[in-house]
Amino acid sequence: KLEAVIFDLDGVITDTAEYHYLAWKALADELGIPFTREFNENLKGVSRMDSLNLLLGQAASPLSLTEEEMVQLADRKNGLYQELIEQITPADLLPGIPEFVADIKQNGIKVGLASASKNALFVVKRLEAEHYFDVIVDVTTLKRNKPDPEIFLTAAALLGVEPGNCIGVEDAASGVDAIKGADMFAVAVGLESLFPHADVVLPDTSRLNLNDLIKQFAG
């Protein structure tokens, strides 16, 4: 029986996935490193430092950077990102999200947030969506990043529910792998071809429908 729906934030609740992309793209341009939207798919759901390492791996000739220089580059990207998220308002909730969350709550099902971002709480506050979530996992307390299931398992434990009774909602391949690793039902939002491991793939958030998902979850 479905007890909780656990959401990713960036690219699911709001389109901050685009802001992460724009900030990485600006940094890549400064460094003269090629960076495409296609390659950016690999960074979705991935932590800041892991993302930086993936980006640097695209350089034509390997850059040898000190730990300190790496931190400076990560800070630079985060500064660009934080400028972009300053502008967020409740109008930036993705289509269908307010209705979907309201429906979940009306059915007595719990709601969790499992975001890999250290900026998650700021974004949720800008969206005025704190009341959506019965739990927001603090990523700084975790040992392992997505695709490790730790973040989804932590959300389930804090909600006091069985992982097998949870649906996870993601827009990233690494996130879908984390959901499946946690033994949860995975709903992906985006292009079908990107999510071979998901249980259900929907083209966008406006298609999230609790009744449909409960049927697929039970089926």
Would you list which residues are annotated within the binding site? 8-10, 24, 43-48, 51, 77, 115-119, 146, 170-171
Distance CA 181, CA 158 (A): 18
Angstrom distances, CA of residue 6 to CA of 50, 87, 169, 177: 23, 25, 6, 14
**45 is a site residue for ligand BG6 (CB under 6 A):** yes
Q: Which does 55 bind (CB under 5 to 8 A by kind): ligand BG6, Mg ion, none?
A: none
The least distance separating ligand BG6 from the CB of residue 164, rounded to whole angstroms, comes to 24
The active-site residue, picked from 10, 134, 177, 199, is: 10
- If binding is defined by CB under 6 A, does position 14 make contact with ligand BG6? no
Shortest distance in whole angstroms from residue 56 CB to Mg ion? 21
Helices 97-106 and 210-218: crossing angle in degrees, nearest 10, is 60
Among 41, 134, 150, 171, binds Mg ion (CB under 5 A): 171
Size of the site for Mg ion (CB under 5 A): 5
| Partner from Mg ion, ligand BG6, none binding residue 46, C-beta < 5-8 Å depending on class | ligand BG6
Give dist(CA 81, CA 61) in Å, integer.
26
Asked if residue 118 binds ligand BG6 (CB under 6 A), the reply is yes
- Residue 186 makes contact with Mg ion by CB under 5 A: no
Return the number of the residue (119 or 167) whose C-beta is nearest ligand BG6: 119
- Tell me if 177 contacts Mg ion by CB under 5 A: no
Cβ proximity to Mg ion, 163 vs 168, nearer residue? 168
Q: Which of residues 60-79 bind ligand BG6 (CB under 6 A)?
A: 78
* Alpha-carbon span 139 to 120, nearest angstrom: 9
Distances (CA, A) of 77 to 120, 134, 174: 16, 30, 21
Q: What is the C-alpha separation between 80 and 94, in angstroms, rounded?
A: 22
Rounded Cα–Cα distance for residues 24 and 20 (Å): 6
Q: Is 190 in the site for Mg ion (CB under 5 A)?
A: no
- Annotated catalytic residue 50: no
8 is catalytic: yes
Residue with tokens 């259900």: 200
User: Which residues sit at the interface with Mg ion, rule CB under 5 A?
Assistant: 8, 10-11, 171-172
User: Which residues sit at the interface with ligand BG6, rule CB under 6 A?
Assistant: 9-10, 17, 20, 43-48, 51, 78, 115-119, 172
Query: What is the set of active-site residues?
Result: 8, 10
